[in-house]
């Protein structure tokens, strides 16, 4: 297959406001015209078909963060402190390192621990709604979607829940690194400051466990042991940070994007109201339809053929889950929101060994928040025409979502 370098297919177009508002026509062109596309602007292959995305997530290398030494050799030593944290995060590791860290973490992030958070998530959701109910109007992002995952994360870690605003600020700053491939040197100082503050905050918390243990994930991770193996303090801090960022920005966007999709499809919203038992499948469909995490990156492990293209070892590859989730070769009528969709194995949580570690928690949060908003806010509707998407290309979400209801 010929290599098409057509500028019109570059993922950089996600920076155009009309593409950011609706990236799906661009994804459709990419899937049909050049499904494994060399993007010279990103210097990476961009993969948009479901079957190819699965293959990338299954067999390509996740070990893609340049080491601090490599960055120094490239004259980018100022990024060293960020890389030092990222190379210890499970998201950027291959086996056997990935298997080891994930196994230790899975040992403490158990289904029982996650399920035990249900009651508290309901209480937090109710109290956030109580505080705005009388106003008859709110910005969902500010009132619920931002604070809820931050409070849940703080409490799950065993940190004071009043710290949630600080955690949210750091996580938003760090997400600039995770979600964006448009390098913006102007943002580096903020990301560096966030990494510095988070490392100090969680480093203190880990060290305190020896003398003042607290109930929660930090303590559990710091003392996790499998066959005599334990995580070092630096590994605990790095993986607490990835859990915190991975768990907040995405869940925030599940709530915001999910509610927006429902408001844009009143007949589906009505269907859900009439049949609340649809909620589990509705959450899956909302994740497929407006995926909070639109793409991720890998490196080719060897020279390899994909979709008719010859990819060279260590070439960068971007797997676009947002495009795979709308692939008509996999999903019937993929641009239709169908809350009762069956056969819905989307890739919004990734696939294979890096499949989202927090998916059970994200599903519970999405379920409780959407169910509670629909139940407690009668006739919920858009209170403003404006829909503003965050200019983060990877983590798709809204800056604000104003809604009103009948009091």
Binding site for ligand HEM (CB under 6 A): 57, 90-91, 102, 242-243, 246-247, 250-251, 254, 292-293, 296, 348-350, 354, 356-358, 361-362
**Is residue 174 a contact partner of residue 195, using CB atoms and an 8 Å limit?**
yes
- For tokens 């621990």, what's the residue? 113
Would you say 201 or 349 has its CB closer to ligand HEM? 349
With respect to ligand HEM, which residue has the nearer C-beta, 258 or 334?
Answer: 258
Q: Which two tokens stand for residue 337?
A: 């929101």
Nearest-approach distance from CB 360 to ligand HEM, in angstroms:
8
Q: Which is nearer to ligand HEM, 85 or 405 (CB)?
A: 85
- Collapsed DSSP state (helix, strand, coil) of residue 402: strand
The least CB distance from residue 1 to ligand HEM, in Å, is 26
Residue with tokens 């709530």: 255
Find the shortest distance in angstroms from Cβ 62 to ligand HEM: 6
Of the pair 286, 405, the CB lying nearest ligand HEM is at 286
Pairing mode, strands 44-47 and 316-320: parallel
Distances (CA, A) of 338 to 2, 117, 254, 286: 37, 29, 16, 9
Tokens of 175: 């997400």
Q: How far is the CB of 114 from ligand HEM (least distance, A)?
A: 8
| 221 neighbors 231 (Cβ within 8 angstroms) | yes
Report the nearest approach of ligand HEM to the CB of residue 184 (Å). Answer: 21
Q: Which residue's CB is nearer to ligand HEM, number 148 or number 405?
A: 148
Q: Which of 208, 120, 194 is nearest to 159 (CA)?
A: 208
Q: At its nearest, how many Å lie between ligand HEM and the CB of residue 151?
A: 13
Distance CA 338, CA 281 (A): 9
| Nearest residue (CB) to ligand HEM, 349 versus 405 | 349
**Which residue of this chain has its Cβ atom nearest to ligand HEM in the complex?**
358
CA dist 101 and 319 (Å) reads 24
Would you say 248 or 405 has its CB closer to ligand HEM? 248
Q: How far apart are CA 348 and CA 286, in angstroms?
A: 10
Find the shortest distance in angstroms from Cβ 79 to ligand HEM.
Answer: 20
- Cβ-based nearer residue to ligand HEM, 88 or 354: 354
Going by C-alpha positions, the residue among 355, 298, 337 that lies closest to residue 36 is 298
Burial of 390 (0-12, 13-18, 19+ CB in 10 A): buried
Spatial distance between the Cα atoms of 235 and 85, rounded to a whole number of angstroms: 8
Main-chain dihedrals φ then ψ at residue 154, nearest 5 degrees: -60, -45
In terms of CB distance, is 159 or 356 closer to ligand HEM? 356
Minimum CB separation from ligand HEM for residue 4, in Å?
Answer: 26
In whole angstroms, the minimum distance from the beta carbon of 197 to ligand HEM comes to 20
Helix (H, G, I), strand (E, B) or coil at 232: coil
Instruction: Please classify residue 229 by burial: count the beta carbons closer than 10 Å to its beta carbon, then call 0-12 exposed, 13-18 middle and 19+ buried.
Output: exposed
Distance separating alpha carbons of residues 40 and 20, to the nearest angstrom: 20
User: From the CB of 247, what's the least distance to ligand HEM, in Å?
Assistant: 3
Q: Among residues 243 and 405, whose Cβ is nearest to ligand HEM?
A: 243
Three-state DSSP class for residue 38: strand
């Amino acid at each position: 297959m010929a290599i098409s370098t057509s500028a019109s297919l570059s993922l950089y177009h996600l920076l155009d406001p009309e593409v950011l508002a609706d990236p799906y026509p661009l994804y459709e062109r990419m899937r049909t015209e050049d499904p494994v596309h060399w993007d010279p602007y990103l210097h990476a292959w961009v993969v948009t078909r479901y079957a190819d995305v699965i293959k990338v997530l299954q067999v390509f290398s996740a070990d893609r963060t340049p080491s601090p030494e490599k960055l120094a050799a490239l004259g980018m030593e100022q990024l060293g402190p960020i890389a030092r944290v990222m190379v210890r995060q499970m998201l950027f590791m291959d086996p056997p390192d990935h298997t080891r860290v994930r196994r230790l973490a899975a040992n403490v992030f158990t289904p029982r621990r996650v399920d035990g958070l249900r009651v508290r998530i309901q209480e937090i959701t109710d109290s956030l709604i109580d505080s705005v109910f009388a106003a008859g109007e709110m910005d969902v992002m500010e009132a619920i979607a931002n604070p809820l995952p931050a409070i849940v994360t703080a409490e799950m870690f065993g940190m004071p829940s009043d710290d949630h605003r600080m955690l949210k600020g750091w996580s938003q700053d760090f997400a600039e690194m995770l979600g964006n491939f448009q390098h913006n040197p102007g943002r580096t100082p903020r990301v560096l400051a966030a990494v510095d503050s988070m490392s100090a905050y969680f480093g203190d918390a880990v060290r305190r466990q020896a003398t003042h243990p607290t109930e929660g994930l930090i303590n559990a991770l710091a003392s996790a042991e499998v066959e005599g193996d334990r995580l070092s303090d630096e590994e605990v801090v790095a993986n607490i940070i990835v859990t915190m960022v991975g768990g907040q920005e995405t869940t925030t966007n599940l709530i915001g994007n999910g509610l927006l999709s429902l408001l844009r499809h009143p007949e589906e919203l009505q269907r859900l109201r009439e049949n609340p038992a649809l909620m589990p499948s509705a959450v899956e469909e909302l994740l497929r339809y407006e995926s909070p995490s639109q793409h991720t990156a890998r490196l080719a492990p060897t020279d390899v053929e994909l979709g008719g293209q010859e990819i060279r070892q260590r070439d960068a590859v971007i797997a676009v889950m947002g495009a795979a989730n709308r692939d008509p070769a996999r999903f019937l009528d993929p641009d239709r929101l169908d809350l009762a969709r069956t056969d819905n194995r989307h890739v919004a949580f990734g696939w294979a060994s890096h499949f989202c570690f927090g998916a059970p928690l994200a599903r519970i949060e999405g379920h409780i928040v959407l169910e509670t908003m629909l139940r407690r806010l009668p006739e919920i509707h858009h209170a403003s025409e404006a829909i503003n998407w965050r200019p983060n290309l990877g983590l798709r979400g809204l800056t604000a979502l104003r809604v009103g209801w009948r009091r």
